[in-house]
Amino acid sequence: MSITLLGVIAGIFTSCSFIPQAYKVIKTKRTSDISIPMYCLCTVGVFLWIIYGLLIKDIAVLLTNIVTFIPTVIILILTVKYHVQTKLKQ
Amino acid sequence: MSITLLGVIAGIFTSCSFIPQAYKVIKTKRTSDISIPMYCLCTVGVFLWIIYGLLIKDIAVLLTNIVTFIPTVIILILTVKYHVQTKLKQ
């Protein structure tokens, strides 16, 4: 297996990894065990990677981070939303 | 701000993002809202990035992924452990 192919496979695994979590959050509407600081850091980090990909004009950095950004933002928004709803009910 | 510095900051954000989730899981011992497929994909992906970093001898790829690997493995192991314990109780 070529080294580049290994990098591509690694990128696919890490980029797609947030999709099952976003699906679970949408389906169950439960997020109390999910860390809000994690998704704040992650969303900002991935957004910076997208800017970085644009600046260095690297399509691989750009695409993998756009794939990561979408589920990450969904998880962050829903986790904050359900957290606020739970606090308001108390 | 230089483009390289932007990449370094992005890397720090995404690499460290799993640390608050690992801390929350260790502290609360609750993982029912966490997606096991996410952490399977992520752990394998980050492990492949470490191998990739070793093969291309890139210290940045290697270090950032080792920082990500440790909390990711902790989250995966504890999520699977508590999931099995919950199933056995039912």
Residue B25 and residue A37: Cβ atoms within 8 Å? Answer: no
| Amino acid identity, position A3 | I
Segment A22-44 mean pLDDT: 97
Residue A38 and residue B20: Cβ atoms within 8 Å? Answer: yes
**How far apart are alpha carbons B7 and B61 in whole angstroms?**
12
DSSP A34: S
**How far apart are alpha carbons B17 and A86 in whole angstroms?**
24
Judge whether B20 is closer than 8 Å to chain A, CB to CB.
Answer: yes
Is the pLDDT reported for residue B1 higher than 80?
Answer: no
The answer to whether the beta carbons of residues B49 and B65 sit under 8 Å apart is yes
Judge whether A38 is closer than 8 Å to chain B, CB to CB.
Answer: yes
pLDDT on residue A6:
92
CATH code for the structural domain at B3-89: 1.20.1280.290
In chain A, what percentage of residues exceed pLDDT 70? 99
**How far apart are alpha carbons A60 and B70 in whole angstroms?**
25
Is the pLDDT reported for residue A1 higher than 80?
Answer: no
pLDDT on residue A60:
86
- Compute the mean pLDDT over every residue in chain A, rounded to the nearest whole number: 94
> What confidence tens digit (pLDDT) does each residue in A42-66 have?
999 999 999 999 999 998 889 999 9
Residue A48 and residue B21: Cβ atoms within 8 Å? Answer: no
Domain ranges of chain B: 3-89
pLDDT on residue A39:
98
